Amino acid sequence: MVPPTDAGAAGAALIDVSDEAEVRRWAEKLAVSVEALREAITAAGNRADRVGEYLLRLRADDHRPPL
């Protein structure tokens, strides 16, 4: 398993980016493409909760009216 991205991650679910099957499962669970999941992991780290929060913020930003 890949080590946590920070010391506060003890007990948090981690996404093992070296395990293709796990990446596909997380992508399906989070309703995103594998590519979008990998981009989110690059931006937010491999903690599943942070990846989920990051993806929610992206979706919220997509629905904001233009300035």
Determine the pLDDT at residue 1.
43
* Pairwise CA distance, residues 33 & 66, whole Å: 25
| Cβ atoms of 38 and 45 closer than 8 Å | no
Residue spans per domain, the chain: 15-62
Per-residue pLDDT of the chain (67 residues; tens, 9 = 90+): 444 444 455 667 999 999 999 999 999 999 999 999 999 999 999 999 999 999 999 988 777 666 5
Determine the pLDDT at residue 52.
96
